[in-house]
A = this chain, B = another copy of it.
């Protein structure tokens, strides 16, 4: 077997050659060729278990031949996998599949909700004091969401409760036109992000998130039932679709006693 730990999956490629090329013909192009090839590699070699952690993917030349794309495009796909922490690319050696992180805490670089994070570790986060409001965009909202001032924005506010304790105060703003307000309210189960992510047509891709340590002022401290001056993490992020459109602006004040924030910092090559 050519996919043993440490071996290269050369011969495994052959089985894919014909079908991969055919599949590439059928591809929908809205995502960019490199991204599609990336997803195919993940499915065909990593998720399938064909190449286990520690083993090498087929070489760039083999992969580019298999999928019928240029080596430049194939390399863009590998670079993407590297950026996601799925493989490590080593000069003169090959692309090593990395072990899946056993991290229990949520990585900040993953775009998913507190609910999803809790569910993954078998816990439940409750939502309290939920409020929906339709407001006119003030100057800050207009700037962050890239809409004209005064246009309608849906605001959602609520408290997150975990193990009977208030752990976060969340505030979301969704501009009119980005997503149907009615659908959002109907499908809402505590997280705006989960609804947006579930809608493929919206193509939500990423959020640029700024992190600031703050001392809670009276207003928010009262909401969270903690003392004024308690240290908290403020996450301020704009969620964007693949085309760069802003689809939501979220602010979250998070208490560190019950939530841990972890991020894997990786060495960069392209810089």
Contacts and interface: CB of A to CB of B under 8 A. Distances in A.
B265 A210 contact: no
Counting contact residues on chain A (CB < 8 A from B), the size range is: 35 or more
A204 interface: yes
A42 B270 contact: yes
A198 to B, nearest CB: 10
Contact of A265 (B76, B79, B108): B108
Interface stretch (A4-12, A176-184, A255-263): A255-263
Interface stretch (A121-129, A131-139, A231-239): A231-239
Contact of A271 (B80, B262, B265, B271): B80
Which of A83, A237, A268, A271 is packed against the most chain B CB atoms within 10 Å?
A271
A225 B56 CA distance: 50
Interface in A198-225: 204-215
Nearest to A261: B211
Number of copies: 2
A148 interface: no
Interface string A51-79: 00000000000000000000010001001
A210 B207 CA distance: 20
A265 B193 CA distance: 12
A268 B80 CA distance: 11
B266 A206 contact: yes
A229 B232 CA distance: 12
Contacts of A207: 264-265
Contact of A261 (B35, B110, B111, B210): B210
A160 interface: no
Given A213-B232, A242-B88, A80 B270 contact: yes
A231 B208 CA distance: 22
A90 B241 CA distance: 13
Contacts of A47: 270
A186 to B, nearest CB: 22
A213 B210 contact: no
Interface of A: 35, 38-39, 42-43, 47, 72, 76, 79-80, 83-85, 88, 90, 103, 105, 108-112, 197, 204-215, 229-233, 237, 242, 256, 260-271
15 contacts: A38-B269, A72-B72, A80-B271, A108-B108, A108-B265, A109-B265, A109-B266, A111-B266, A197-B267, A206-B266, A211-B261, A212-B256, A212-B260, A213-B213, A213-B232
